[in-house]
Chain A
Protein backbone atom coordinates (compact mmCIF):
# COMPACT_ATOMS: atom_id res chain seq x y z
CA UNK A 1 0.00 0.00 0.00
CA UNK A 2 1.33 3.40 -0.94
CA UNK A 3 2.11 5.75 1.96
CA UNK A 4 -0.76 8.07 2.80
CA UNK A 5 -0.26 11.79 2.64
CA UNK A 6 -1.36 12.80 6.09
CA UNK A 7 -1.98 16.22 7.54
CA UNK A 8 -3.60 19.27 6.07
CA UNK A 9 -1.60 22.15 4.67
CA UNK A 10 -3.27 25.26 3.36
CA UNK A 11 -2.11 28.83 2.85
CA UNK A 12 -2.58 31.12 5.85
CA UNK A 13 -4.69 33.55 3.80
CA UNK A 14 -7.72 31.26 3.79
CA UNK A 15 -7.76 31.09 7.61
CA UNK A 16 -7.52 34.86 7.90
CA UNK A 17 -10.32 35.37 5.37
CA UNK A 18 -12.62 32.93 7.18
CA UNK A 19 -11.74 34.57 10.48
CA UNK A 20 -12.77 37.94 9.06
CA UNK A 21 -15.94 36.48 7.61
CA UNK A 22 -16.86 34.95 11.00
CA UNK A 23 -16.41 38.38 12.59
CA UNK A 24 -18.72 39.96 10.02
CA UNK A 25 -21.37 37.25 10.48
CA UNK A 26 -21.21 37.50 14.29
CA UNK A 27 -21.60 41.27 14.10
CA UNK A 28 -24.57 40.79 11.78
CA UNK A 29 -26.30 38.37 14.15
CA UNK A 30 -25.64 40.73 17.06
CA UNK A 31 -27.19 43.58 15.10
CA UNK A 32 -30.35 41.49 14.62
CA UNK A 33 -30.84 41.78 18.37
CA UNK A 34 -29.56 45.35 18.60
CA UNK A 35 -32.11 46.64 16.07
CA UNK A 36 -34.92 44.55 17.62
CA UNK A 37 -35.95 42.71 14.47
CA UNK A 38 -38.96 40.53 15.31
CA UNK A 39 -41.00 37.65 13.93
CA UNK A 40 -40.06 35.59 10.90
CA UNK A 41 -37.42 38.07 9.72
CA UNK A 42 -35.57 37.68 13.03
CA UNK A 43 -35.69 33.88 12.84
CA UNK A 44 -34.66 33.78 9.22
CA UNK A 45 -31.64 36.02 9.88
CA UNK A 46 -30.56 34.28 13.10
CA UNK A 47 -30.70 30.80 11.57
CA UNK A 48 -29.04 31.85 8.32
CA UNK A 49 -26.11 33.49 10.13
CA UNK A 50 -25.87 30.53 12.54
CA UNK A 51 -25.69 27.94 9.76
CA UNK A 52 -23.23 30.01 7.71
CA UNK A 53 -20.92 30.37 10.70
CA UNK A 54 -21.19 26.68 11.60
CA UNK A 55 -20.55 25.70 7.98
CA UNK A 56 -17.46 27.87 7.67
CA UNK A 57 -15.97 26.55 10.91
CA UNK A 58 -16.55 22.90 9.99
CA UNK A 59 -15.55 23.24 6.33
CA UNK A 60 -12.40 25.33 6.65
CA UNK A 61 -11.17 25.45 10.24
CA UNK A 62 -11.89 21.75 10.79
CA UNK A 63 -10.73 20.92 7.24
CA UNK A 64 -13.90 19.01 6.32
CA UNK A 65 -13.73 20.56 2.85
CA UNK A 66 -10.58 18.59 2.05
CA UNK A 67 -11.49 15.24 3.65
CA UNK A 68 -12.66 12.26 1.63
CA UNK A 69 -16.41 11.71 1.33
CA UNK A 70 -16.30 8.52 3.47
CA UNK A 71 -15.21 10.70 6.41
CA UNK A 72 -17.55 13.60 5.65
CA UNK A 73 -20.62 11.36 5.46
CA UNK A 74 -19.68 9.42 8.60
CA UNK A 75 -19.88 12.70 10.55
CA UNK A 76 -22.58 14.68 8.77
CA UNK A 77 -25.24 11.99 8.14
CA UNK A 78 -25.74 11.08 11.85
CA UNK A 79 -25.85 14.81 12.65
CA UNK A 80 -28.74 15.40 10.24
CA UNK A 81 -30.69 12.66 12.07
CA UNK A 82 -30.90 15.09 14.98
CA UNK A 83 -33.45 17.01 12.93
CA UNK A 84 -35.88 14.16 13.71
CA UNK A 85 -35.34 14.65 17.44
CA UNK A 86 -35.80 18.39 16.93
CA UNK A 87 -39.11 17.76 15.15
CA UNK A 88 -40.37 15.38 17.85
CA UNK A 89 -39.39 17.91 20.53
CA UNK A 90 -41.27 20.71 18.79
CA UNK A 91 -44.43 18.61 18.28
CA UNK A 92 -44.39 17.45 21.89
CA UNK A 93 -43.80 20.97 23.23
CA UNK A 94 -46.69 22.33 21.17
CA UNK A 95 -49.01 19.66 22.56
CA UNK A 96 -47.84 20.25 26.16
CA UNK A 97 -48.41 23.97 25.75
CA UNK A 98 -51.91 23.31 24.42
CA UNK A 99 -52.89 20.96 27.29
CA UNK A 100 -51.44 23.36 29.85
CA UNK A 101 -53.49 26.15 28.32
CA UNK A 102 -56.66 24.06 28.60
CA UNK A 103 -55.87 22.97 32.17
CA UNK A 104 -55.06 26.43 33.50
CA UNK A 105 -58.10 27.99 31.83
CA UNK A 106 -60.37 25.39 33.46
CA UNK A 107 -58.87 26.25 36.86
CA UNK A 108 -60.03 29.85 36.48
CA UNK A 109 -63.74 29.02 36.28
Chain B
Protein backbone atom coordinates (compact mmCIF):
# COMPACT_ATOMS: atom_id res chain seq x y z
CA UNK B 1 0.00 0.00 0.00
CA UNK B 2 1.31 3.52 -0.79
CA UNK B 3 2.46 5.67 2.12
CA UNK B 4 2.45 9.40 2.87
CA UNK B 5 0.14 11.87 1.11
CA UNK B 6 -0.21 9.43 -1.77
CA UNK B 7 -1.39 6.86 0.75
CA UNK B 8 -4.07 9.20 2.09
CA UNK B 9 -5.42 9.86 -1.41
CA UNK B 10 -5.26 6.18 -2.32
CA UNK B 11 -7.01 5.10 0.92
CA UNK B 12 -9.81 7.66 0.69
CA UNK B 13 -10.46 6.98 -3.00
CA UNK B 14 -10.23 3.21 -2.68
CA UNK B 15 -12.89 0.55 -2.88
CA UNK B 16 -15.07 -0.39 0.11
CA UNK B 17 -13.08 1.05 2.99
CA UNK B 18 -11.11 4.19 3.69
CA UNK B 19 -9.45 3.00 6.89
CA UNK B 20 -7.13 0.15 5.95
CA UNK B 21 -5.97 -2.31 8.64
CA UNK B 22 -8.65 -0.95 10.97
CA UNK B 23 -11.65 -3.11 11.87
CA UNK B 24 -14.92 -1.21 11.36
CA UNK B 25 -15.76 -1.32 15.07
CA UNK B 26 -12.49 0.41 15.87
CA UNK B 27 -13.06 3.07 13.22
CA UNK B 28 -16.53 3.72 14.65
CA UNK B 29 -15.10 4.00 18.18
CA UNK B 30 -12.57 6.56 16.93
CA UNK B 31 -15.35 8.59 15.30
CA UNK B 32 -17.38 8.45 18.50
CA UNK B 33 -14.32 9.61 20.47
CA UNK B 34 -13.85 12.47 18.03
CA UNK B 35 -17.41 13.65 18.67
CA UNK B 36 -16.88 13.23 22.42
CA UNK B 37 -13.74 15.37 22.11
CA UNK B 38 -15.91 18.14 20.73
CA UNK B 39 -18.36 17.83 23.63
CA UNK B 40 -15.61 18.02 26.25
CA UNK B 41 -13.97 20.88 24.37
CA UNK B 42 -17.26 22.81 24.47
CA UNK B 43 -17.31 22.40 28.26
CA UNK B 44 -13.66 23.31 28.74
CA UNK B 45 -13.76 26.30 26.41
CA UNK B 46 -16.99 27.58 28.03
CA UNK B 47 -15.28 27.22 31.39
CA UNK B 48 -12.27 29.20 30.12
CA UNK B 49 -14.57 31.94 28.77
CA UNK B 50 -16.48 32.18 32.05
CA UNK B 51 -13.33 32.18 34.16
CA UNK B 52 -11.60 34.84 32.08
CA UNK B 53 -14.61 37.16 32.04
CA UNK B 54 -15.63 37.07 35.71
CA UNK B 55 -14.73 40.10 37.80
CA UNK B 56 -14.95 38.15 41.08
CA UNK B 57 -11.87 36.29 42.28
CA UNK B 58 -11.84 32.60 41.30
CA UNK B 59 -11.58 30.18 44.27
CA UNK B 60 -8.01 28.88 44.48
CA UNK B 61 -8.17 25.22 43.37
CA UNK B 62 -4.85 24.50 45.06
CA UNK B 63 -6.48 25.21 48.44
CA UNK B 64 -10.03 24.05 47.71
CA UNK B 65 -8.80 20.60 46.68
CA UNK B 66 -6.09 20.32 49.30
CA UNK B 67 -6.12 17.64 51.96
CA UNK B 68 -4.94 17.87 55.56
CA UNK B 69 -2.74 14.94 56.51
CA UNK B 70 -1.14 14.61 59.95
CA UNK B 71 -2.00 18.23 60.71
CA UNK B 72 -0.24 19.44 57.54
CA UNK B 73 -2.22 20.71 54.58
CA UNK B 74 -0.96 19.43 51.24
CA UNK B 75 -2.24 21.20 48.11
CA UNK B 76 -4.13 19.19 45.48
CA UNK B 77 -3.18 15.90 47.13
CA UNK B 78 -6.44 14.10 46.38
CA UNK B 79 -6.37 15.17 42.73
CA UNK B 80 -2.77 14.02 42.36
CA UNK B 81 -3.67 10.58 43.72
CA UNK B 82 -6.69 10.42 41.38
CA UNK B 83 -4.40 11.26 38.45
CA UNK B 84 -2.00 8.46 39.30
CA UNK B 85 -4.86 5.99 39.76
CA UNK B 86 -6.28 6.81 36.33
CA UNK B 87 -2.88 6.66 34.61
CA UNK B 88 -2.25 3.27 36.20
CA UNK B 89 -5.58 2.04 34.91
CA UNK B 90 -4.52 3.15 31.42
CA UNK B 91 -1.31 1.15 31.79
CA UNK B 92 -3.13 -2.04 32.81
CA UNK B 93 -5.61 -1.49 29.97
CA UNK B 94 -2.84 -1.18 27.36
CA UNK B 95 -1.38 -4.47 28.58
CA UNK B 96 -4.81 -6.13 28.55
CA UNK B 97 -5.07 -5.26 24.84
CA UNK B 98 -1.65 -6.76 24.19
CA UNK B 99 -2.49 -10.03 26.00
CA UNK B 100 -5.88 -10.07 24.26
CA UNK B 101 -4.29 -10.22 20.82
CA UNK B 102 -2.02 -13.00 22.11
CA UNK B 103 -5.25 -14.82 23.08
CA UNK B 104 -4.01 -15.08 26.65
CA UNK B 105 -7.43 -15.31 28.29
CA UNK B 106 -6.29 -15.35 31.92
CA UNK B 107 -3.96 -12.33 31.76
CA UNK B 108 -6.44 -10.30 29.71
CA UNK B 109 -9.16 -11.05 32.26
CA UNK B 110 -6.97 -10.15 35.24
CA UNK B 111 -5.74 -6.91 33.67
CA UNK B 112 -9.27 -5.89 32.65
CA UNK B 113 -10.41 -6.45 36.23
CA UNK B 114 -7.48 -4.36 37.54
CA UNK B 115 -8.46 -1.58 35.16
CA UNK B 116 -12.08 -1.73 36.32
CA UNK B 117 -10.99 -1.72 39.98
CA UNK B 118 -8.76 1.33 39.47
CA UNK B 119 -11.59 3.07 37.58
CA UNK B 120 -14.01 2.34 40.42
CA UNK B 121 -11.43 3.68 42.90
CA UNK B 122 -11.23 6.88 40.87
CA UNK B 123 -15.01 7.32 40.90
CA UNK B 124 -15.04 6.62 44.64
CA UNK B 125 -12.46 9.34 45.27
CA UNK B 126 -14.45 11.70 43.11
CA UNK B 127 -17.56 10.98 45.18
CA UNK B 128 -15.49 11.78 48.29
CA UNK B 129 -14.32 15.04 46.71
CA UNK B 130 -17.86 16.07 45.73
CA UNK B 131 -19.15 15.28 49.24
CA UNK B 132 -16.39 17.41 50.78
CA UNK B 133 -17.14 20.31 48.45
CA UNK B 134 -20.92 20.17 48.81
CA UNK B 135 -21.18 19.50 52.55
CA UNK B 136 -18.11 21.19 54.02
CA UNK B 137 -17.28 24.00 51.62
CA UNK B 138 -20.87 24.85 50.68
CA UNK B 139 -20.18 24.89 46.96
CA UNK B 140 -23.31 24.93 44.77
CA UNK B 141 -23.79 25.19 40.99
CA UNK B 142 -25.30 28.67 41.51
CA UNK B 143 -22.80 30.08 43.99
CA UNK B 144 -20.29 29.47 46.75
CA UNK B 145 -18.78 31.29 49.73
CA UNK B 146 -15.25 31.33 48.24
CA UNK B 147 -15.59 33.63 45.22
CA UNK B 148 -16.87 33.57 41.64
CA UNK B 149 -20.34 32.03 41.45
CA UNK B 150 -19.52 30.18 38.21
CA UNK B 151 -16.98 27.94 39.95
CA UNK B 152 -19.55 25.37 41.08
CA UNK B 153 -21.38 25.15 37.75
CA UNK B 154 -18.15 24.63 35.81
CA UNK B 155 -16.74 22.17 38.33
CA UNK B 156 -19.82 19.95 38.68
CA UNK B 157 -20.52 19.95 34.94
CA UNK B 158 -17.00 19.08 33.81
CA UNK B 159 -15.99 16.58 36.49
CA UNK B 160 -19.52 15.15 36.57
CA UNK B 161 -19.49 14.46 32.85
CA UNK B 162 -16.03 12.94 33.10
CA UNK B 163 -17.03 10.83 36.12
CA UNK B 164 -20.05 9.54 34.19
CA UNK B 165 -17.70 8.46 31.40
CA UNK B 166 -15.50 6.62 33.90
CA UNK B 167 -18.52 4.89 35.48
CA UNK B 168 -19.84 3.73 32.10
CA UNK B 169 -16.30 2.58 31.26
CA UNK B 170 -16.13 0.47 34.43
CA UNK B 171 -19.42 -1.23 33.52
CA UNK B 172 -18.21 -2.02 30.01
CA UNK B 173 -14.84 -3.23 31.32
CA UNK B 174 -16.67 -5.73 33.50
CA UNK B 175 -18.79 -6.85 30.53
CA UNK B 176 -15.68 -7.24 28.34
CA UNK B 177 -13.85 -9.12 31.11
CA UNK B 178 -16.79 -11.52 31.44
CA UNK B 179 -16.81 -12.18 27.70
CA UNK B 180 -13.07 -12.87 27.76
CA UNK B 181 -13.09 -15.33 30.67
CA UNK B 182 -16.19 -17.14 29.36
CA UNK B 183 -14.32 -17.77 26.13
CA UNK B 184 -16.87 -15.88 24.01
CA UNK B 185 -14.08 -14.38 21.94
CA UNK B 186 -12.22 -17.67 21.43
CA UNK B 187 -15.41 -19.33 20.20
CA UNK B 188 -16.46 -16.24 18.22
CA UNK B 189 -19.85 -16.09 19.89
CA UNK B 190 -21.82 -12.99 18.89
CA UNK B 191 -22.42 -10.40 21.61
CA UNK B 192 -25.69 -8.80 22.64
CA UNK B 193 -27.48 -6.67 20.03
CA UNK B 194 -25.25 -7.93 17.22
CA UNK B 195 -24.93 -10.95 14.99
CA UNK B 196 -21.24 -10.37 14.34
CA UNK B 197 -18.68 -12.78 15.70
CA UNK B 198 -16.88 -11.96 18.92
CA UNK B 199 -13.20 -11.15 18.39
CA UNK B 200 -10.32 -9.96 20.54
CA UNK B 201 -10.43 -6.60 18.79
CA UNK B 202 -13.28 -5.66 21.15
CA UNK B 203 -10.66 -5.48 23.90
CA UNK B 204 -8.73 -2.92 21.88
CA UNK B 205 -11.93 -0.96 21.16
CA UNK B 206 -12.71 -0.97 24.88
CA UNK B 207 -9.13 0.21 25.43
CA UNK B 208 -9.57 3.15 23.07
CA UNK B 209 -12.55 4.35 25.10
CA UNK B 210 -10.69 3.89 28.37
CA UNK B 211 -7.56 5.73 27.23
CA UNK B 212 -9.78 8.54 26.01
CA UNK B 213 -11.25 8.92 29.50
CA UNK B 214 -7.68 9.17 30.82
CA UNK B 215 -6.83 11.66 28.08
CA UNK B 216 -9.73 13.94 29.03
CA UNK B 217 -8.55 13.83 32.65
CA UNK B 218 -5.10 15.06 31.53
CA UNK B 219 -6.76 18.20 30.13
CA UNK B 220 -9.12 18.66 33.10
CA UNK B 221 -6.21 18.28 35.52
CA UNK B 222 -4.17 20.92 33.68
CA UNK B 223 -6.81 23.56 32.98
CA UNK B 224 -9.14 23.16 35.94
CA UNK B 225 -6.91 22.17 38.85
CA UNK B 226 -3.57 23.71 37.93
CA UNK B 227 -4.80 27.03 36.42
Contacts and interface: CB of A to CB of B under 8 A. Distances in A.
Interface string B36-69: 0110011001101111111100000010000000
Interface stretch (B14-22, B117-125, B153-161, B177-185): B14-22
Contacts of B20: 4, 68, 70
Interface string B80-93: 10011001101101
Given A57-B218, A82-B38, A85-B41, A26 B80 contact: yes
B221 to A, nearest CB: 7
Contact of B215 (A4, A54, A90, A92): A54
Query: Which interface residue of B5, B212, B215 has the most chain A CB atoms within 10 A?
Result: B215
A15 B7 contact: no
A41 interface: no
Interface of A: 1, 4-10, 12, 15-16, 18-19, 22-23, 26, 29-30, 32-34, 42, 46-47, 49-50, 53-54, 57-58, 60-63, 67-71, 73-75, 78-79, 82, 85-86, 89-90, 92-94, 96-97, 100-101, 104
Interface stretch (B96-104, B127-135, B190-198): B96-104
Given A57-B214, A85-B41, A71 B87 contact: no
B215 A57 contact: yes
Given A9-B102, A22-B90, A89 B34 contact: no
Contact of A70 (B11, B83, B201): B11
Contacts, number: 169
A71 B30 contact: yes
Interface string B155-182: 0000000000000000000000000000
A14 B49 CA distance: 39
Interface residues of B, number: 68
Nearest to B12: A70
Contacts of A71: 19, 22, 27, 30
A4 B30 CA distance: 19
A16 B92 CA distance: 9
